[in-house]
Amino acid sequence: MLTEAHGIPLRVSLTGGHRNDVTQLLPLVDSIGPVRGRRGRPRRRPRTLYADRGYDHDIYRRRLRERVITPKIARRGQPHGSGLGKVRWVAESAIAWLHGPRRLRIRWEVRDDMHDAFLQLAHCMTLAGKHPAF
């Protein structure tokens, strides 16, 4: 999941359970549409990207810098207390909000497309300001 600074989810992606999260980082960033803001040309990419230790890899840091995005990613092997948790909690709360309905917390669907459909529906309802309860 990719959220903006206030916790509004911009993109949601469903992957396999044994897949590394960092493999979806660049496709999620590249899939962002124009975001309205100040006057002028709308931004298509964030200025800064905050992520946890699971996304710590030099290749992806370099590729983010090539896209003019400043990576703020916690380093593996470093002690906790970098201060990134003060910003990253926004994304964690958005994930908790999106997985609020029991149907998404406990996956009953065997087929991926059905689970993805309910995930996208919850995403749309969250954007509309309605808390999904199915």
pLDDT in tens, the chain (134 residues): 788 777 777 788 777 777 787 888 888 888 887 777 778 887 778 888 888 788 888 999 999 999 999 998 878 777 776 666 677 777 777 777 777 777 777 777 788 888 888 888 888 887 777 656 55
Supply angle C-alpha 98, 34, 46, rounded to 5: 70
Q: Which residues of 53-89 are buried (b: 16+ CB within 10 A; e: fewer)?
A: eebbeeebbeebeeeebebebbeeeeeeeeebeeebe
Q: What is the pLDDT of residue 73?
A: 83
Q: What is the pLDDT of residue 84?
A: 64
Q: What is the pLDDT of residue 83?
A: 67
| Paired tokens of 115 | 């689970």
Q: What is the pLDDT of residue 62?
A: 95
Distance CA 75, CA 106 (A): 31
Q: 131, 60, 71: which is closest to 102 by C-alpha?
A: 131
Q: What is the pLDDT of residue 48?
A: 86
